[in-house]
């Protein structure tokens, strides 16, 4: 793997190590997950993603777009590094789809974009098989979630998509206001803790590497070993506890709101009932008065 500086240059995208694979292990507020990134699938996308993961660009950032049964999107950083921000904002060329193309299914990872050659730093993970994804030039898969997908599917999603399709965060406000905007207005969103990259260089130049270790069966074993070693991403109690507390608080707030609404409705109904009874009493008294009055008149007429 070339050094960080070469990763940011166009020359790095012309390297011959097209078969390079990287394993990216990430801790999140929902639990860890592991990515397997394939350079052969999308050379430009792979190089940019690995570079950003290596530099800690995604660490402590939020999963700001979580749409159940569709995707989860991330990649707006709070980094103070001007150099890293500039690198992340620079667009990369689109990569051609493979023939046959890599299908979008549960766990597929791709860059998000908005037009030709528009990929920068935002990635998404597909939640399910989708025929609508992969139809755009920039939607070229760069890898898959190979472990911890259930944790990815457990990301908080009640805010929905971003406006106008849901009540989620506005991307331009995240870019402008940063972490404060998310933590104040969307406190339940999940976030990355830290990601680490474990590279497997299987290029023709890597003579010292035992390439048999990267056969599909061996790679699966390697992923399993990496996934089982959670020493650096096991969440300590002080980190995981707030997650549990805030998830518990969400239904509590919804229950409280329901109870308030129910109490107000009950009070309104009781008030209406009292009003009806009062009107009924008045009507009954009026009828009694009329009957008494009419009875008195009849008695008076008989006497006369």
What pLDDT, in 10s, does the model give residues 154-182? 999 999 999 999 999 999 999 999 999 99
Is a pLDDT exceeding 50 seen at residue 10?
A: no
Range of the domain at 188: 4-235
The answer to whether residues 174 and 76 touch, using CB atoms and an 8 Å cutoff, is: yes
For residues 204 and 298, membership in a common domain is answered with no
* Cα Rg, the chain, nearest whole Å: 32
Two tokens, residue 46? 């792979």
Average pLDDT, integer, range 72-98 = 96
pLDDT higher than threshold 90 for residue 200:
no
Q: Model confidence at 277, in pLDDT bands (50, 70, 90)? A: confident
Task: Note whether 132 and 89 are same-domain residues.
Answer: yes
Mean pLDDT of 56-82: 97
In this structure, the answer to whether residues 292 and 191 fall within a common structural domain is no
Task: List the one residue out of 73, 71, 15, 25 whose CA is nearest residue 46.
Answer: 15
Residue 226: both structure tokens together: 């990496």
The distance in angstroms from the start CA to the end CA of the chain is 124
Whether residues 243 and 231 share a domain: the answer is no
Interval 87-102 mean pLDDT: 94
The count of structural domains within the chain is: 2
Residue 117 pLDDT greater than 50, yes or no: yes
Tokens of 260: 């308030």
For residue 110, what is the enclosing H or E element?
strand 108-111
Share of the chain above pLDDT 90, in %: 56
Contact 125, 139 (CB under 8 A): no
Query: How much is the pLDDT for 275?
Result: 76
pLDDT of residue 203: 35
Residues 69 and 195 placed together within one structural domain of the fold:
yes
Residue 41 clears pLDDT 70, i.e. is over it: yes
**Same structural domain, 217 and 270:** no
240 pLDDT more than 90: no
Host H or E run for residue 192: strand 192-200
Indicate if 146 and 281 belong to the same structural domain: no
Q: What is the pLDDT of residue 127?
A: 98
Check if the beta carbon of residue 219 is closer than 8 Å to that of residue 82: no
Say if residue 304 is in the same domain as residue 169.
no
* 103 DSSP 8-state letter: P
Are residues 165 and 20 part of one domain?
A: yes
The phi and psi torsions of 36 (rounded to 5 degrees) equal -115, 115
| pLDDT band, residue 282 (cuts 50/70/90) | confident
State the average pLDDT for the chain: 79
Residue 5 pLDDT exceeds 50? no
Q: How many CB atoms within 10 Å of residue 235?
A: 17
pLDDT at residue 290, as a whole number:
83
Q: Are residues 286 and 300 in the same domain?
A: yes
Same domain, 158 and 227: yes
Looking at residues 46-59, what average pLDDT do you find? 98
């Amino acid at each position: 793997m070339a050094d960080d500086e070469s990763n940011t240059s166009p020359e790095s995208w012309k390297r011959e190590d097209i078969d390079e694979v990287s394993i990216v292990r990430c801790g999140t507020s929902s639990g860890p997950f592991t990515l397997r990134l394939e350079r052969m699938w999308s050379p430009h996308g792979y190089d940019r993603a690995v570079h950003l993961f290596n530099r800690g660009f995604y660490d402590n950032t939020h999963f700001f777009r979580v749409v159940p049964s569709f995707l989860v999107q991330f990649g707006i950083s709070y980094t103070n590094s001007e150099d890293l921000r500039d690198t992340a904002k620079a667009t990369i060329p689109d990569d051609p789809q493979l023939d046959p193309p890599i299908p979008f299914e549960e766990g597929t990872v791709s860059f998000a974009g908005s037009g030709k050659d528009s990929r920068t730093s935002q990635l998404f993970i597909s939640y399910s098989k989708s025929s609508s994804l992969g139809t755009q030039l920039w939607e070229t898969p760069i890898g898959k979630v190979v472990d911890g997908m259930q944790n990815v599917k457990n990301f908080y999603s009640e805010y929905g998509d971003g406006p106008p399709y849901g009540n989620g965060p506005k991307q331009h406000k995240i870019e402008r206001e940063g972490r404060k905007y998310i933590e104040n207005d969307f406190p339940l969103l999940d976030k990355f803790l830290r990601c680490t990259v474990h590279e497997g260089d299987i290029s023709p130049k890597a003579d010292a590497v035992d390439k048999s270790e990267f056969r599909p069966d061996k790679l699966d074993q390697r992923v399993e070993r990496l996934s089982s070693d959670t020493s650096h991403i096991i969440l300590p109690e002080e980190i995981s506890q707030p997650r549990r507390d805030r998830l518990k608080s969400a239904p509590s707030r919804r229950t409280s709101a329901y109870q308030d609404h129910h109490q107000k409705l009950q009070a309104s109904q009781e008030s209406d009932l009292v009003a009806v009874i009062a009107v009924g009493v008045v009507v009954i008294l009026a009828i009694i008065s009329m009957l008494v009055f009419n009875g008195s008149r009849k008695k008076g007429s008989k006497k006369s």
